[in-house]
Amino acid sequence: MGQIFTEDHDQFRHSLRSFVEKEITPNVLEWEAEGQVPRSFFKKLGDLGFLGIRLGEEYGGSGLDFLYTTVLVQELMQCGSVGVPVAAMAHAEFATKIIERAGSDDLKDEYLRDAVAGNIIGALGLTEPGAGSDVAAIRTRAVRDGDDYVINGSKVFITNGTIADFITTGVRTGEDGYTGMSLLVVPADTKGLTRRRLKKIGTHSSDTAELFFDDCRVPARNLLGPEGGGFKPLMQGFEGERMVLSVIACAQMRLMWEAARQHGHDRKAFGQTLLEFQVWQHRLADVITSIEAAEALMYRGIDMYVRGEPCNAEISMSKLFATETALTVARECAQIHGGMSHMEECGMARLYRDSLAFTIGAGTSEVLRTIIANDKGLAKRRDHK
């Protein structure tokens, strides 16, 4: 790959690192206990210009490429709490970017400036109890009634769900399938919308919710794009989501490897440090080799995306390999910590349990394998004479 980051990226990284060290890392245990990041977290990110990296300057954003988002995610991950970058990206990359991509000028004016400033918080409402990776299976229905849409249904596993001020929501406005899907921006104070926080085994600092829509009336002007045109902008957004998950997984693996390496030098057993045993030298050598491979694949996908090249398969490969590898890396790095790897007070323990959802979010590993297979011609039937 060579050097893909420029001096500007390095300066951006330096400013982020100082912010994370002073404003985030000292607070992550409190946020994990509370089950969410505070509103002040988004406001501080907004004040520093970190929430509108890929949004247009006309809405207060910076209009920069995904490499800057990569740096942002990598540095946020240095706090050691996966929920922190997950909460930030659910707002900045998922909920708002899709409004810029498909929304009317009036809708962009109404939401994007305040979202970039951190004055309001966004969530992406897509997954349902019966529809996860199979986006076309959503059942939450929106029916046009005069100047409004009336929404009924439910969503689940929605990041920022109980703290959001608006939810960019996938709804069904037509028949089953892709062409019957639409997107609506739903204000969180809409009458008939109720929210319930879910208790997870990981990513504790990231709020996750179940949403219920009971005759919720939303202005028809909150429709993103044409009615029935929601599938395409959603699919375009998935590329960004999967790259974010790849970056988070790779950054997390680096943290776990460094913690394992340090512990291996410090902890003694049978009169010598753990890393004086060849078995642990070799196991951690395998770990760092896997991390380097995952990062190389990640940077390849990002580079292609930034250059504007078709890269759905490469991004899918990156997300698949990085998140599956993170599970192995977590197990190996937890093993060298012994019993402490199961104690919440241990950073390694928190990283370990946070890795478990990586292979599910933004497309399961099974769905990604199908995307890759289709792209590489594996699913095509070939006639043999």
* Final residue of a structural domain among 172, 206, 228: 228
* Final residue of a structural domain among 197, 228, 259: 228
User: Pick from 62, 47, 185: which is nearest to 119 by CA?
Assistant: 47
What is the mean pLDDT of the segment spanning 249-255?
A: 97
Q: Are 226 and 106 spatial neighbours (Cβ–Cβ below 8 Å)?
A: no
Which residue is catalytic, options 128, 241, 295, 314?
A: 241
pLDDT(1) > 50? no
What is the mean pLDDT of the segment spanning 170-178?
A: 92
**Domain match, 321 and 238 both:** yes
Residue 282 lies in a domain: yes
pLDDT(2) > 80? no
**Domain match, 106 and 224 both:** no
Would you state the structure tokens that stand for residue 151, as one six-digit string?
A: 């929404």
The percent of residues above 70 in pLDDT, for the chain, comes to: 98
Among 85-94, 230-239, 340-349, name the most confident range.
Answer: 85-94
Between CA 344 and CA 10 the distance in angstroms is 33
- Terminal-to-terminal C-alpha distance of the chain: 42
Alpha helices in 64-129 (DSSP H): 66-76, 83-89, 97-102, 105-117
What is the mean pLDDT of the segment spanning 255-272?
A: 96
Q: Are 185 and 103 spatial neighbours (Cβ–Cβ below 8 Å)?
A: yes
Residue 291 binned pLDDT confidence (cut-offs 50, 70, 90): very high
pLDDT(305) > 70? yes
* pLDDT for the residue numbered 379: 81
Count up the domains in the chain and report the number.
Answer: 3
pLDDT(384) > 90? no
* pLDDT for the residue numbered 385: 40
**Domain match, 92 and 155 both:** no
Residue 138's domain comprises: 122-228
Residue 381 binned pLDDT confidence (cut-offs 50, 70, 90): low
**Domain match, 89 and 144 both:** no
Number of other residues whose CB lies within 10 A of the CB of residue 318: 30
**Domain match, 69 and 191 both:** no
**Domain match, 343 and 237 both:** yes
Residue 313: phi and psi, rounded to 5, are: -70, -40
* pLDDT for the residue numbered 135: 86
* Final residue of a structural domain among 168, 194, 228: 228
What is the mean pLDDT of the segment spanning 307-315?
A: 95
**Domain match, 149 and 70 both:** no
* pLDDT for the residue numbered 382: 53
Residue 163 lies in a domain: yes
**Domain match, 280 and 311 both:** yes
In this structure, what DSSP letter does residue 38 have? -
Half-sphere exposure of 303 (CA within 13 A, CB side): 11
Residue 381 lies in a domain: no
Residue 177 binned pLDDT confidence (cut-offs 50, 70, 90): confident
Between CA 184 and CA 344 the distance in angstroms is 39
What's 276's domain CATH number? Answer: 1.20.140.10
Residue 85 lies in a domain: yes
Kindly tell me the sign of the dihedral angle through the C-alpha atoms of 11, 16, 17, 18.
positive
Assess whether 241 carries a catalytic annotation. Answer: yes
What's 78's domain CATH number? Answer: 1.10.540.10
Residue 127 lies in a domain: yes
